[in-house]
């Protein structure tokens, strides 16, 4: 208490720079006077009395100093003094300051930018009440709609019925909420108000009535869901995300209570979710609308909502306080087995035998569903490692600069030591200087990070809409940057400070310029070797990723993407029944054909190089059952021409292939290789899904292999069917055959058409205002999107590799130039004694290259040992091959040659007479 | 050769407090002289060291100071004990006596007592 009070008084004195100097002086003067008078009264002579009085008082200066120390905060004063001095010193050498700040700003900025990504993706919790109490049921990111069981019985996606029963039987949860697992891949269409408005694509997520209550959220306006909204027969309602409300409605409060059309069905908006809430998971396309699970069948034809065998929901619950997880996990698993026992999934082998293994793993739910987090985890860790390496190199570099500076300041430090500065005081002063450099660098780094984060986000999520990762640094990120600066400053500052402060005043004052040994210290050379090694590791990494990207892009896709465009639509969302699709497809073909410049109009279920795949088992009639799958695409007659697939023989799908004619198929070469013998004529053969369907389709033609889904899928067996043909064995009502819905229109134009996108929107809206363009992309773009992540990684590693190379070479140059300047004298003598210029050049270059070679050796060893950490994201690249090695070493050699030659030539041009005169 | 004893750390403050307690408000010189008188010739104090101690006590709130006329009618700074100072003196005194008692007991102890 007393200490605290005293601290405040001192602090106040310090801040107000209030000195008691005047008071002390007066008191001291009076004190000595009083003592003198007393002595005089005792009979001492005036002069002697004054002398004795001062003697008894003691050393006035020491008292004053002590008094002063008691008065303020001497430590803080020292720091301030050091800071002022350091700033002056830095101002005196603007060159050093600029280079050091630049290096640090880049290093700290890059790390901060990457940290803000890491913070958002790997660390941050959901912006909900008390996220610690949330628990997710399940640890897998299985998606969308599943009917199977994992071999090990691990459950992470659940049916509606399973959720309801778990919820009823688990009083351990305050709330157990359910949410759609695969909303990202199933966009909805939304139309506001009247018929003159056209529909536009949006993201909707089906959630349970207690979803918002479980997260503890309150609405921005209106209300959030209650259990009644999710009841059977409740009129459809929706909660809008804050961002959609701001973007599509300009924050108009009248939206509450209004009717919108979701997939062409009327829905009442009841409220807006709170600001900052981006759903239950990090997504580059967060939901615009939240819809009750019970409305899924009506709004999205999701018949699986009622199906106890269809798993489509993730579950997150809020625990009551004091609930222990291990017993809860056992209990929930047992309950799930009971719930699933009567479900048809477990009525047949092999799934029946898996029932006893069925279990749930409870995982922390505070960060929500971590699918994106896990997807990017490896890449992010790689980026952390890479940017960390760059920062290390930057540290080594600045340390080197400081060492050089410290040598130059020997004389100054010696003088200060001679004048009585203690060793620790000098170290503290030098450390202050490096910390200030680091802090200033950190400040500049935050600016770099701000721009860097934007670039990173744009690179990593090119198709994001409303990505919930802010580019502006959050408090956590700022704290990280500052902490990083301090650590950096200490890291690169300690050694140079200790070295520089260890001066012997006599030695330095005795003029140390005439030393021959001189040159760079072992520490300096070691730092250069470290930098070289680290930058080589980064260059090798960049080489590997570039090689991998190159191999990916070199895969012969057999696709000609020029002047081709892919339009994604959803006729089901627009309200079409399968029986109405024939006339829709005819209108699409006719209306688009009528657009001037459009050469071919393809309609299909999906297109090459997009993340979609329909596949089924194939059995060729009269052949053994291979138990193998092939992918299939339903297409219109013009599809092959529009997408640029070559017909090799036979015929394509034609207008004659109507729902009433024989069902036909066109297969690709991989299909032939897989299911038929070489050289066999496939035309006229029949195949189908399984033995009982083997006569379903007649093969009428063969096309070239083209790559669907992803590059890794090349040479995959495929067959193409007519859009509306159903095999004779398929006797179900046509209006339940969701397989007939096309999802894509392919347009091939003879020449580039600039306004094709708006033309497309208008054309579709003229057919039906509910027909929204979910996505319009050039075919080129669609293909390159598939390489997006690989390209981002390759570009980033190349960028960081180049940065590291630049830093390392600056370091090498600095040390070489420094040792040359230190040895000016020695070189002058050598040349005066007859050494040739070439010899001098060789001597300097040899020194530089020795360090380089050590660096390369160490770096290569590290790189080769570390490849396995990134093997998983490399495509057909196994280990470091000679190309990559050379590609990494050559720029290093080139840089080093320049870094060494410049000072070497300067050394060779030394005039011996001048050199000897240098002091 | 017998030397004068240096002041033990912390005890000077206690002496100052006790002096002010006994004699009431006093200026720095007065305190210094009183301490010299009481401790006799056994203690060596640089009178000047008193002032940082006084400042410290003042910052802690144990003493208060103000200008006032001295015996020879000159301006001097007078220090007096505050309520906090009285309390502080009391606790310090108790601590000191306790310490002294413990140390004393150690000196009194004989080997047979510990057997």
Is A740 a residue whose pLDDT tops 70? yes
Among B27, B55, B75, beta carbon nearest to A71 = B55
Lowest mean pLDDT among A314-318, A423-427, A777-781, A856-860: A423-427
Among A5, A33, A63, beta carbon nearest to B49 = A63
A799 lies in which domain range?
373-553+788-917
Closest residue of B to A53, CA-based?
B47
Best B49, B52, B82, B83 member to test A by mutation, with max A CBs in 10 Å, is B52
Cross-chain Cβ contact B27/A30 below 8 Å: yes
The residues in A 447-476 lying below 8 A from B, measured between CB atoms, are: none
Lowest mean pLDDT among A183-192, A506-515, A805-814: A506-515
Give CA A411 to chain center in angstroms. Answer: 49
Best B37, B51, B60 member to test A by mutation, with max A CBs in 10 Å, is B51
Best A21, A65, A67, A73 member to test B by mutation, with max B CBs in 10 Å, is A67
With an 8 Å Cβ cutoff, is B77 touching chain A? yes
Q: How far is CA A210 from CA A137, A217, A222, A312, A339, in A?
A: 16, 11, 16, 17, 21
| The two structure tokens encoding residue A107 | 């290093």
pLDDT tens for each residue of A612-628: 888 888 889 988 888 78
Same domain, A763 and A796: no
Among B33, B49, B61, beta carbon nearest to A58 = B49
| The two structure tokens encoding residue A477 | 């990120």
Cα–Cα distance measured from residue A610 to residue B6, given in angstroms and rounded to the nearest whole number: 90
- Looking up tokens 């006590």 gives B57
Cross-chain Cβ contact B75/A30 below 8 Å: yes
Contact A224, A218 (CB under 8 A): yes
For residue B6, what pLDDT is reported?
56
Among A5, A60, A70, beta carbon nearest to B48 = A60
Lowest mean pLDDT among A68-82, A251-265, B16-30: A68-82
For residue A405, what pLDDT is reported?
77
Cross-chain Cβ contact A27/B75 below 8 Å: no
With an 8 Å Cβ cutoff, is A11 touching chain B? no
For residue A516, what pLDDT is reported?
43
Cross-chain Cβ contact A31/B77 below 8 Å: no
Per-residue confidence band for A503, with pLDDT thresholds at 50, 70 and 90: low
Cα–Cα distance measured from residue A820 to residue A903, given in angstroms and rounded to the nearest whole number: 7
Is residue A117 in some structural domain? no
Closest residue of A to B74, CA-based?
A30
Judging contacts by C-beta atoms under 8 Å, the chain B residues touching residue A69 are: 52
Cα–Cα distance measured from residue A498 to residue A475, given in angstroms and rounded to the nearest whole number: 34
Cross-chain Cβ contact A63/B74 below 8 Å: no
Residues 6+ apart with CB under 8 A from A895: A805, A806, A808, A809, A812
For the ranges A128-132, A783-787, B56-60, the one whose mean pLDDT is highest: A128-132
In the predicted model, what is the mean pLDDT of residues A124-134? 92
Neighbouring CB atoms inside 10 A of A693's CB total 20
With an 8 Å Cβ cutoff, is B41 touching chain A? no
Same domain, A457 and A541: yes
Is residue A82 in some structural domain? no
| Extents of the domains making up chain B | 5-109
In the predicted model, what is the mean pLDDT of residues A167-173? 93
Residue A707 three-state SS = coil
With an 8 Å Cβ cutoff, is B99 touching chain A? no
Is residue A903 in some structural domain? yes
| The two structure tokens encoding residue A29 | 């003067």
Judging contacts by C-beta atoms under 8 Å, the chain B residues touching residue A24 are: 51
Cross-chain Cβ contact A30/B74 below 8 Å: yes
Residues 6+ apart with CB under 8 A from A119: A474, A476, A477, A480
Estimate the share of chain B in helix, then strand, then coil, as percent rounded to the nearest 5.
65, 15, 20
Same domain, A756 and A798: no
Above pLDDT 90, what percent of chain A? 33
Cross-chain Cβ contact B52/A37 below 8 Å: no
Residue A799 three-state SS = helix
Residue A479 three-state SS = helix
Cross-chain Cβ contact B27/A9 below 8 Å: no
Alpha helices in A220-291 (DSSP H): 242-249
ipTM of the complex: 0.82
Residue A145 three-state SS = coil
Is A102 or A418 the better-scoring residue by pLDDT? A102
pLDDT tens for each residue of A636-655: 999 999 999 999 999 999 99
With an 8 Å Cβ cutoff, is B73 touching chain A? no
Judging contacts by C-beta atoms under 8 Å, the chain B residues touching residue A52 are: none
Cross-chain Cβ contact B48/A59 below 8 Å: yes
Cross-chain Cβ contact B48/A70 below 8 Å: no
Per-residue confidence band for A595, with pLDDT thresholds at 50, 70 and 90: very high
Cα–Cα distance measured from residue A529 to residue A533, given in angstroms and rounded to the nearest whole number: 6
| Domain limit, last residue, from A326, A343, A366 | A366
- Looking up tokens 């929500």 gives A368
Task: Give bridge partners of residue A260 from the DSSP assignment.
Answer: A192, A267
Nearest C-alpha neighbor of A690 from the set A731, A736, A629, A732: A629
Judging contacts by C-beta atoms under 8 Å, the chain B residues touching residue A27 are: 27-28, 51, 76-77
With an 8 Å Cβ cutoff, is B61 touching chain A? yes
Neighbouring CB atoms inside 10 A of A467's CB total 19
Judging contacts by C-beta atoms under 8 Å, the chain A residues touching residue B77 are: 23, 26-27, 30
The helix (H) or strand (E) run that includes residue A101 is helix A94-118
Per-residue confidence band for B1, with pLDDT thresholds at 50, 70 and 90: very low
For residue A514, what pLDDT is reported?
46
The residues in A 296-325 lying below 8 A from B, measured between CB atoms, are: none
With an 8 Å Cβ cutoff, is A614 touching chain B? no
Cα angle vertex B14, ends B13, B19, to 5°? 100
Same domain, A794 and A769: no
Per-residue confidence band for A195, with pLDDT thresholds at 50, 70 and 90: low
Q: Considering chain A, what is the average pLDDT of its residues?
A: 86
Cα–Cα distance measured from residue A884 to residue A882, given in angstroms and rounded to the nearest whole number: 6
Please state the φ and ψ torsions of residue A137, each to the nearest 5 degrees.
-90, 100
With an 8 Å Cβ cutoff, is A510 touching chain B? no
Judging contacts by C-beta atoms under 8 Å, the chain A residues touching residue B75 are: 26, 30
Task: Give the dihedral sign, CA A129/A131/A135/A140.
Answer: positive
Is A307 or A148 the better-scoring residue by pLDDT? A307
Judging contacts by C-beta atoms under 8 Å, the chain A residues touching residue B63 are: none
Per-residue confidence band for B2, with pLDDT thresholds at 50, 70 and 90: very low
Closest residue of B to A55, CA-based?
B46
Cross-chain Cβ contact A6/B60 below 8 Å: yes
State the fold for domain B5-109.
Arc Repressor Mutant, subunit A (1.10.10)
Judging contacts by C-beta atoms under 8 Å, the chain A residues touching residue B47 are: 31, 35, 56-58
Same domain, A404 and A499: yes
Among B52, B72, B75, beta carbon nearest to A63 = B52
With an 8 Å Cβ cutoff, is B44 touching chain A? no
Contacts of residues A761-766 at CB distance under 8 Å and 24 or more positions apart, as own/partner, are: A761/A198, A763/A591, A763/A592, A763/A595, A764/A567, A764/A569, A764/A588, A765/A198, A766/A591
Is residue A706 in some structural domain? yes
For residue A914, what pLDDT is reported?
73
Contact A379, A372 (CB under 8 A): no
Among B46, B70, B76, beta carbon nearest to A57 = B46
With an 8 Å Cβ cutoff, is A30 touching chain B? yes
Cα–Cα distance measured from residue A213 to residue A347, given in angstroms and rounded to the nearest whole number: 37
Is A766 or A465 the better-scoring residue by pLDDT? A766
Report the side by side order of strands in the sheet with B75-81: B26-27, B75-81, B63-69
For residue A2, what pLDDT is reported?
66
In the predicted model, what is the mean pLDDT of residues A878-900? 88
Cross-chain Cβ contact B28/A27 below 8 Å: yes
Q: Considering chain B, what is the average pLDDT of its residues?
A: 82
| The two structure tokens encoding residue A88 | 């002056």
Among B47, B59, B72, beta carbon nearest to A56 = B47
For residue A185, what pLDDT is reported?
75
Is residue A527 in some structural domain? yes
In the predicted model, what is the mean pLDDT of residues A457-476? 79
In the predicted model, what is the mean pLDDT of residues A730-750? 87
pLDDT tens for each residue of A825-881: 788 888 888 888 888 888 888 888 888 999 999 999 998 888 888 887 788 888 788
Judging contacts by C-beta atoms under 8 Å, the chain B residues touching residue A9 are: 59
For residue A152, what pLDDT is reported?
86
Same domain, A397 and A263: no
pLDDT tens for each residue of A506-525: 665 565 444 444 556 788 88
What is the DSSP annotation of A575-612?
T--GGGHHHHHHHHHHHHHTSTTEEEEEEES--BTSS-
Cα–Cα distance measured from residue A181 to residue A302, given in angstroms and rounded to the nearest whole number: 13
Q: How far is CA A677 from CA A615, A623, A670, A683, A684, in A?
A: 22, 10, 12, 13, 14
Q: How far is CA A590 from CA A413, A601, A638, A870, in A?
A: 87, 9, 12, 50
For chains A and B, CB pairs below 8 A equal 75
Closest residue of B to A28, CA-based?
B48
Split into its structural domains, chain A has a count of 4
Q: How far is A28 from chain B (nearest CA, A)?
A: 8
With an 8 Å Cβ cutoff, is A56 touching chain B? yes
Please state the φ and ψ torsions of residue A129, each to the nearest 5 degrees.
-70, 130
């Amino acid at each position: 208490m007393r200490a605290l009070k005293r601290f405040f008084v001192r602090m106040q004195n310090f801040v107000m720079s209030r000195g008691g100097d005047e008071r002390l002086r007066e008191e001291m003067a009076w004190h000595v006077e009083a003592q003198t008078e007393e002595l005089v009264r005792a009979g001492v002579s005036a002069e002697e009395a004054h002398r004795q009085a001062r003697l008894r008082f003691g050393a006035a200066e020491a008292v004053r100093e002590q008094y002063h120390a008691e008065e303020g905060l001497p430590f803080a004063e020292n720091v301030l003094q050091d800071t002022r001095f350091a700033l002056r010193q830095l101002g005196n050498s603007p060159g050093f300051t600029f280079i050091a700040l630049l290096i640090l700003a880049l290093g700290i900025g890059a790390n901060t930018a990457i940290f803000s990504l890491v913070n958002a993706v790997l660390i941050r919790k959901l912006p909900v009440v008390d996220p610690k109490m949330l628990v997710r049921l399940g640890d897998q990111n299985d998606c969308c709609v599943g009917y199977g069981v994992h071999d090990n019985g691990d459950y992470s996606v659940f049916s509606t019925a399973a959720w309801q029963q778990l919820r009823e039987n688990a009083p351990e949860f305050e709330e157990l909420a359910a949410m759609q697992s695969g909303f990202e891949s199933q966009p909805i269409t939304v139309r506001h108000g009247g018929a003159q408005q056209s529909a536009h694509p949006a993201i909707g997520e089906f959630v349970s009535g207690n979803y918002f209550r479980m997260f503890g959220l309150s609405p921005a306006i209106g209300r959030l869901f209650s259990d009644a909204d999710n009841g059977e027969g409740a009129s459809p309602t929706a909660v809008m995300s804050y961002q959609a409300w701001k973007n599509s409605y300009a924050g108009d409060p009248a939206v509450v209570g209004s009717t919108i059309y979701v997939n062409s069905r009327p829905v009442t908006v009841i409220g807006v979710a709170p600001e900052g809430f981006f759903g239950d998971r990090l997504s580059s396309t967060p939901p615009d609308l939240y819809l009750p699970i019970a409305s899924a069948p009506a709004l999205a034809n999701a018949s699986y909502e009622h199906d106890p065998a269809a798993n489509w929901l993730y579950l997150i619950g809020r625990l009551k306080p004091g609930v222990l997880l291990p017993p809860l996990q056992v209990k929930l698993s047992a309950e799930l087995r009971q719930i699933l026992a009567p479900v048809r999934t477990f009525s047949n082998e092999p799934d029946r035998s898996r029932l006893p293994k069925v279990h749930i793993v409870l995982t922390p739910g505070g960060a929500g569903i971590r699918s994106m987090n896990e997807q990017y985890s490896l890449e992010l860790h790689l980026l952390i490692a890479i940017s960390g390496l760059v920062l290390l190199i930057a540290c080594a570099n600045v340390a080197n600069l400081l060492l050089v500076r410290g040598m130059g300041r020997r004389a100054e430090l010696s003088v200060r030591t001679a004048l009585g500065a203690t060793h620790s005081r000098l170290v503290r002063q030098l450390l202050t200087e490096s910390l200030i450099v680091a802090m200033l660098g950190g400040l500049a780094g935050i600016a770099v990070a701000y721009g860097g984060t934007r670039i990173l986000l744009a690179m990593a999520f090119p198709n994001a809409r409303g990505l919930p990762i802010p580019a502006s640094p959050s408090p956590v990120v700022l704290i990280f940057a500052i902490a990083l600066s301090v650590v950096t400053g200490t890291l690169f500052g300690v050694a140079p400070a200790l070295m520089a402060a260890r001066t012997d005043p006599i030695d330095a004052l005795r003029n140390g310029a005439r030393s021959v040994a001189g040159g760079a210290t072992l520490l300096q050379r070691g730092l250069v070797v470290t930098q070289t090694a680290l930058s080589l590791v980064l260059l090798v990494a960049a080489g590997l990723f570039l090689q991998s990207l190159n191999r990916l892009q070199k895969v012969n896709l057999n696709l000609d993407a020029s002047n081709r465009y892919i339009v994604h639509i959803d006729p089901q969302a627009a309200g079409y029944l399968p029986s109405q699709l024939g006339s829709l497809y005819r209108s699409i073909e006719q209306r688009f054909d009528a657009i001037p410049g459009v050469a071919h109009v393809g309609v299909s279920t999906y297109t090459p190089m997009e993340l979609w795949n329909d596949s089924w088992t194939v059995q060729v009639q009269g052949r053994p059952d291979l138990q193998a799958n092939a992918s299939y695409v339903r297409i219109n007659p013009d599809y092959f021409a529009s997408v640029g697939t070559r017909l090799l023989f036979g015929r394509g799908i034609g207008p004659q292939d109507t729902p009433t004619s024989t069902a036909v198929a066109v297969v690709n070469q991989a299909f032939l290789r897989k299911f038929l013998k070489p050289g066999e004529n496939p035309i006229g053969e029949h195949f189908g899904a399984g033995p009982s369907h083997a006569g379903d389709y007649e093969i009428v033609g063969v096309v070239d292999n083209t790559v669907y889904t992803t590059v890794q899928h090349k040479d995959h067996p495929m067959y193409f069917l007519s859009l509306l043909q159903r095999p004779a064995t398929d006797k179900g009502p046509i209006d339940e055959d969701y397989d007939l819905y096309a999802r894509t229109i392919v347009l091939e134009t003879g020449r580039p058409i600039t306004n094709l996108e708006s033309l497309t929107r208008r054309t579709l809206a003229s057919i039906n205002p509910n027909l929204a363009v979910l996505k319009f992309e050039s075919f080129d773009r669609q293909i390159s999107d598939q390489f997006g992540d690989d390209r981002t990684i390759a570009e980033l590693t190349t960028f960081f590799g180049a940065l590291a190379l630049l830093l390392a070479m600056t370091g090498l140059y600095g040390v070489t130039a420094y040792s040359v300047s230190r040895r000016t004298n020695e070189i002058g003598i050598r040349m005066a004694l007859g050494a040739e210029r070439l010899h001098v050049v060789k001597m300097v270059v040899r020194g530089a290259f020795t360090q380089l070679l050590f660096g390369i050796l160490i770096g290569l060893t590290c790189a080769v040992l570390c490849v396995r950490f990134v093997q998983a994201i490399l495509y057909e690249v196994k280990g470091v091959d000679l190309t990559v090695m050379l590609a990494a070493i050559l720029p290093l050699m080139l840089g080093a040659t320049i870094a060494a030659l410049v000072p070497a030539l300067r050394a060779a041009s030394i005039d011996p007479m001048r050199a000897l005169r240098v002091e | 050769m017998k030397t004068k004893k240096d002041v033990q750390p912390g005890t000077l403050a206690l002496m100052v407090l006790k002096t002010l307690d006994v004699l009431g408000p006093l200026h720095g010189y007065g305190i210094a002289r009183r301490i010299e008188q009481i401790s006799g010739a056994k203690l060596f104090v640089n009178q000047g060291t008193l002032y940082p101690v006084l400042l410290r006590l003042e910052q802690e709130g144990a003493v208060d100071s103000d200008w006032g006329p001295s015996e020879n009618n000159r301006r001097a700074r007078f220090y007096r004990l505050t309520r906090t100072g009285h309390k502080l003196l009391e606790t310090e005194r108790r601590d000191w006596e306790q310490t002294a008692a413990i140390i004393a007991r150690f000196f009194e102890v004989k080997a047979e007592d510990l057997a």
